[in-house]
């Protein structure tokens, strides 16, 4: 694996992260340093440990050993709720929406909940105004303003995934983790999502980490690509580097991507 020089701007450091499920080594002493403002992808075959890695970063699964350090603070044993409040926010592969509520209400309720979690709710009526303004801004940036009065259940699959990302954005993330954002999408929806994620990353100055199987999207927008195979990080680097990496080609990509 090519070694990249550590820089002082690392916002997230994963150190020797290790997890077993029975006899299966799901993450095998994984070491990753995520730089502030980085757009990166995690790829690998099914069962490689990608989602488990996300679960450990976000507090849903404790590692057997190792640590997760965010902004120089060890968050390994913190709850998912506390990690979210710190600014590490995740959108899941299957969107979690209030399907019978409107698009607007899904985002507005999430914005209000964020105020409450930060001890601000009901202290000042201006907070309701701020939540409405925040909702309008996010819907505009995400491209859902025109359908804000529709029920979430009436949206296309791609727009439901966009709505789930909109809800994540109400929490003012510094790091946004996305678990297969284009899963189940038609080709035109995948292209739309690729452009949307790039725009959101730049506009909100996010550090974005996404798991993805669509290699056009991965090679199209990821600045750094990390490859997990059987719980081990076998390579990390630019798209050109990963395309030519023999171990990655053999384990995952195949010759057709060259």
Instruction: Calculate Rg over the CA atoms of the chain.
Output: 19
In the chain (258 residues long), the average pLDDT of successive 10-residue segments reads: 55 97 92 97 94 96 96 96 94 78 95 68 64 94 96 94 95 95 92 95 96 94 96 96 93 66
Predicted local confidence at residue 112, as pLDDT: 86
Predicted local confidence at residue 92, as pLDDT: 74
Predicted local confidence at residue 113, as pLDDT: 82
Residue 57's nearest CA partner among 24, 37, 33, 93 is: 33
Q: What domains can you pick out in the chain, each with its CATH number?
A: 1-87+173-190+206-258 (3.40.50.300), 99-169 (no CATH)
**Which residues, 6 or more positions from 57, have their beta carbon under 8 angstroms from its beta carbon?**
12, 14, 68, 88, 177
User: Exposure pattern of 119-149 as b/e (b: 16+ CB <10 Å)?
Assistant: eeeeeeeebeeebeebbbebbebbebeebbe
**Separation between Cα atoms, residue 142 and residue 161, nearest integer Å:** 11
Predicted local confidence at residue 64, as pLDDT: 96
Predicted local confidence at residue 152, as pLDDT: 95
Predicted local confidence at residue 121, as pLDDT: 47
């Amino acid at each position: 694996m090519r070694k990249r020089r550590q820089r002082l701007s690392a916002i997230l450091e994963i150190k020797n992260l290790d997890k077993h499920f029975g006899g299966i080594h799901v993450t095998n002493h994984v070491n990753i340093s995520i730089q502030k403002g980085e757009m990166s992808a995690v790829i690998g075959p099914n069962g490689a440990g990608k989602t488990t890695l996300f679960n450990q970063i976000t507090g849903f699964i404790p590692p057997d050993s190792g640590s997760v350090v965010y902004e120089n603070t060890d968050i390994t044993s913190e709850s998912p709720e506390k990690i979210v409040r710190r600014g590490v926010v995740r959108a899941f592969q299957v969107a979690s929406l209030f399907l019978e509520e409107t698009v607007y209400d899904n985002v507005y309720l999430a914005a209000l909940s964020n105020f409450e979690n930060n001890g601000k709710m009901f202290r000042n009526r201006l907070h309701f105004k701020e939540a409405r303004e925040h909702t309008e801004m996010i819907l505009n940036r995400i491209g859902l303003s025109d359908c804000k009065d529709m029920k979430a259940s009436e949206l296309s699959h791609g727009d439901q995934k966009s709505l789930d990302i909109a809800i994540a954005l109400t929490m003012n993330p510094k790091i946004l983790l996305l678990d297969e954002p284009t899963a189940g999408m038609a080709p035109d929806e995948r292209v739309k999502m690729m452009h949307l994620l790039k725009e959101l990353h730049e506009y909100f100055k996010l550090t974005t980490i996404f798991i993805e199987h669509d290699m056009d999207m991965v090679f199209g927008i990821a600045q750094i690509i990390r490859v997990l195979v059987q719980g081990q990080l076998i390579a990390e680097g630019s798209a050109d580097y990963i395309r030519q990496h023999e171990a990655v080609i053999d384990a995952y990509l195949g010759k057709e991507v060259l």
